[in-house]
Amino acid sequence: MEETHQIAVTQMRKSVEKLGSSTENYSDATIMRFLIARSMDPEKAAKMFVQWQKWRSAFVPNGSISDSEVQPELETRKIYLQSLTKEGHPILIIKGSKHYPSKDHLQFKKFVVHLLDKTIASSFKGREIGNEKLIGILDLQQITYRNIDARGLITGFQFLQAYYPERLAKLFILHMPRFFVAVWKMVSRFLEKATLEKIVIVSNEEERINFIKEIGEEALPEEYGGQAKLVALQDVVMPQLEQGGC
């Protein structure tokens, strides 16, 4: 780690302590994610980190959201979790045509946490390093007006930005219909510049080829130009992790 980064990490750890919390069980890689998300400002990053800790302990008191807590959302089989890309990022696929706005918004929030936690954990090699990222694919093929859920999209992005800083490597949006453009413009207003810069709307053949190349054919499902089979989120068996976290 560069000397300037190490100094910022040390300063942030001290700032967290001043706020009455601790970074003792968290790696430098984890601390760096919060620093990057707050433009390397140790005090702002410390506030974000402490807010994240408080949210995590309140919203996920058991450390994870179990399948049974979000069963109705899982039953739609709209989320898929593939193996790692060439860069080592897990691939999270969302099929918009299988999604309908949830009547239970609290359960939907739990589902967002469940799918993000499981996706990120699927890239751990024995234990968490702290800088793991995911690749997202939002497939809007065959969506109708009944599938549109601006509130749900905004919730997902807000969770990523507030509680999973620097966990998103890139998000590819496929098959965006014309009627969805206005919805996307509205949703985009809630996104930070750093998030928007990681989103690619695949709209022509050149972009499609680059999309396949970036992810890699071995990990990408066949219907998107790859060689893999789609695997539903709940069908993915997680590897046993070593004791200790980041």
216: left (phi over 0), alpha (psi -120 to 50) or beta: left
Answer whether 88's CB lies under 8 Å from 71's CB: no
Q: What is the three-class DSSP state of 229?
A: coil
- Which of the residue ranges 125-129, 162-166, 211-215 would you say has the lowest mean pLDDT? 125-129
pLDDT for the residue 126: 84
3-state secondary structure of 195: helix
- For 181-195, write each residue's pLDDT tens digit: 999 999 999 999 999
Q: What is the pTM of this model?
A: 0.95
pLDDT in tens, 15-40: 999 999 999 999 999 999 999 999 99
Question: Is the confidence at residue 232, as pLDDT, over 50?
Answer: yes
242 pLDDT band, cuts 50/70/90, is low
